Amino acid sequence: MYNLLKGKKGIIFGALNEHSIAWKTAERAHEEGAKFVLTNAPASIRMGELDVLAKKTGSQIIAADATSIRDLEHLVEKSMDILGGKIDFVLHSIGMSVNVRKGKSYTDPNYDFTTKGWDVSAVSFHKMLNVLYKKEAMNDWGSIVALTYMAAQRVFPDYNDMADNKAYLESVARSFGYFFGRDYKVRVNTISQSPTPTTAGKGVKGFDGFIAYSEKMSPLGNATALECADYTISMFSDLTKKVTLQNLFHDGGFSNMGVSDAVLENFE
């Protein structure tokens, strides 16, 4: 290990089980010397195994509904109490589509489901940033990262309204990132990760076929959850102090490919 986060303090949203990118990031942050608070919605904490991760990393868990300003305010205040000061890094790894869960197509959604998914997956990021900003909770040169997917830029039909949510999430990172950088020297970025077999990813229709396609299309192959965690750690570190307002593709090169020899072989 490199002690990249030695002495740094953070909050990690969204770890559910050992398949989660947030879970892997927490493990890596601990290995690199960071202290942090783990948080998720109460229902997700009951469903998942967050207590195992907390014990492994010596972390405390604070339940919070990321769509609730009151919960987020309590989370940030309590985290600063536990950690003994301001925050150096935050990971937003939250996403959910009720339409996907309920099998509703993009052309025939339930708009109440759409609103709920948008609030959880994207508006929660704005709310989180807003609470951190107003409470001046971040240290200078801190780093805030949210996880996204390139369906925000290109059409993946079965990704459904999550594509819209990710596009909004990326826009929030740029817009709020400007104010955070100007006023507090804090950087805000999104990481656009390869399709990854997390609990949420596996809920997308046709996921197994698409992950196989992406593997053949990407010259370096798909990035794993652990590799995404490594990249996230680099974004939390002081080695990336001037990187902000960016959507950073971490996908083995998939985002710049038109076609690959491995894919063409299926049509020749």
Does the annotation list 94 as a binding residue?
yes
User: Widest CA span of the chain, in angstroms?
Assistant: 62
CA atoms lying within 13 Å on the CB side of residue 238? 10
Query: What value does the CA radius of gyration of the chain take, rounded to a whole number of Å?
Result: 18
Distances (CA, A) of 45 to 16, 39, 89, 145, 198: 7, 8, 21, 21, 16
Q: For the chain, first and last CA: distance in Å?
A: 46
Is 144 one of the annotated binding-site residues? no
Considering 106, 133, 159, 231, which one is annotated as catalytic? 159
The amino acid occupying position 159 is Y
Please indicate whether residue 133 is annotated as part of the active site.
no
Q: Report whether 166 belongs to an annotated binding site.
A: yes
20 is in an annotated binding site: yes
Contact criterion met (CB below 8 Å) for 162 and 151? yes
Q: How far apart are CA 108 and CA 189, in angstroms?
A: 32
Is 149 among the catalytic positions? yes
Q: Is 21 annotated as a binding residue?
A: yes
Among 149, 168, 178, 231, the active-site one is: 149
Annotated binding site: 14, 20-21, 94, 166
Binding-site residues from annotation for NAD(+): 14, 20-21, 94, 166
Catalytic site residues? 149, 159
